Amino acid sequence: MNNRQIEAFAALMKSGTASRAAEILGVSQPAVSRMIADLEHAVGFSLFDRVRSRLIPTPEARLFYRDVEAAFRGMDALRAAAARIRDRGSGELRVASLSALGATLVPRAIARFRQKHPTVRITLDVLLSRDVRDLVASGQSDIGLAADEIDLTGVSHQLFVAPNALCVMPAGHRLAAKPVIGPADLQDEPFIAYAPEDRSRHRLDKVLAEAGVTPRIVVETALASTVYALAAEGIGIGLVNPLFNPGLDRARVVTRPFEPKIAVRSLLILPPDRPKSGLVRDFITALLSVR
């Protein structure tokens, strides 16, 4: 049994005559008859009864044709799936991001991306950077945005953004009157610090050590959103990624530049050794356009 024999059988069932089936297939009538005979030999039962020069499908043929039709529908579905992948990619995109970018920049990129791909389903996971890295390294996410302290083993990476940190403090704080905050301003000040493994925390610690300044750390956290929230509650001051928009009442917090500048570096990471799909390339373009 081969595909051509099945096609001849389906054409004969649909058209009712060997001559019409031959026209559909673009072959001679004897060729159709030969393929049907070969198929009957392969399946082990008669497909047509010859009644006064007419081919009448046997009951076995009608049963067999049900499965043939189902197989053809499956092939049609595969062709349609291939067309969707060719035209729009896989139809699904999985993105993971650290919270500082997942609340602002990534949603803007998704809006830009959907202008070109309105039917693509996107999964967005907003996680700690180490968890973003793990999803991308395992292939569970197609694209990741993570802070630069992650383990880079097993991922492809490039610098995505490196804005300078802002100092955030409660509204009405005494330092809010200053246009720029410096290391000396943090001496003995209740301070909300990033977790010890955070690279921007390392850069700040170095600057403060060189200035001989020791802030009074009251809370350590991994998330920019938590720094904002704690500052809004009057807990202390901290440094934050300026790309993060906390969605809080900005009347409760103020931000000021910090000097010397402390870069907050974020990386674009991808699964290793995997060619970029059209969707991934387009989403990266959208990310770059809104940063």
What is the per-residue pLDDT across 205-221, written as a single tens digit (0 to 9) for each?
Answer: 999 999 999 889 999 99
Q: Strand 190-194 vs strand 216-221: parallel, antiparallel, or unpaired?
A: parallel
Give CATH 3.40.190.10 domain extents, the chain.
92-162+266-290, 166-257
Mean pLDDT of 254-261: 95
Q: Does the pLDDT of residue 160 top 90, yes or no?
A: yes
Of 231, 224, 226, 168, the closest CA to residue 200 belongs to 224
pLDDT at 91: 74
Query: Which residues does 119 contact at the CB level (< 8 Å), separation at least 6?
Result: 88, 91
What pLDDT sits at residue 81? 66
Bigger pLDDT: 282 vs 17: 282
Instruction: Kindly list the distances between the CA atom of residue 30 and the CA atoms of 42, 55, 80, 118, 220, in Å, as whole numbers in the listed order.
Output: 18, 14, 33, 51, 84
Mean confidence (pLDDT) of the chain: 89
Q: Residue 258's pLDDT is what?
A: 96
Over residues 2-7, mean pLDDT: 88
Query: CA 148: distance to chain centroid?
Result: 20
CATH number of 3-88: 1.20.120.1200, 3.40.1360.10, 3.40.50.12590, 1.10.10.10? 1.10.10.10
Please give the pLDDT value at position 25.
Answer: 85
Q: What is the pLDDT of residue 115?
A: 94
Out of 3.40.190.80, 2.130.10.30, 1.10.10.10, 3.40.190.10, which CATH number does the structure's domain 166-257 have?
Answer: 3.40.190.10
pLDDT at residue 88 above 80?
no
Q: In the chain, pLDDT over 70 holds for what percent of residues?
A: 95
Does residue 73 carry a pLDDT above 60? yes
Task: Using the predicted structure, report yes or no on whether residue 198 has a pLDDT greater than 60.
Answer: yes
Share of the chain above pLDDT 90, in %: 53
Where are the domain boundaries for CATH 1.10.10.10 in the chain? Answer: 3-88
Nearest to 280 by CA among 143, 88, 173, 159: 143
Q: Which of 90-99, 165-174, 186-195 has the lowest mean pLDDT?
A: 90-99
The residue behind tokens 């595969």 is 78
Residue 89 pLDDT: 52
Q: For residue 76, name the pLDDT band (cuts at 50, 70, 90).
A: confident
Model pLDDT, residue 84: 60
CA nearest neighbour of 225 among 238, 215, 212, 234 = 238
Whether the pTM exceeds 0.85: the reply is no
- Provide the b/e sequence for 32-49 (b: ≥16 CB within 10 Å): bbebbeebbeeeeeebbe
- Is residue 147 within 8 A of residue 236, CB to CB? The reply is no
Average pLDDT (66-81) is: 79
What number is the average pLDDT over the span 85-104? 80
Q: What is the CATH number of domain 92-162+266-290?
A: 3.40.190.10
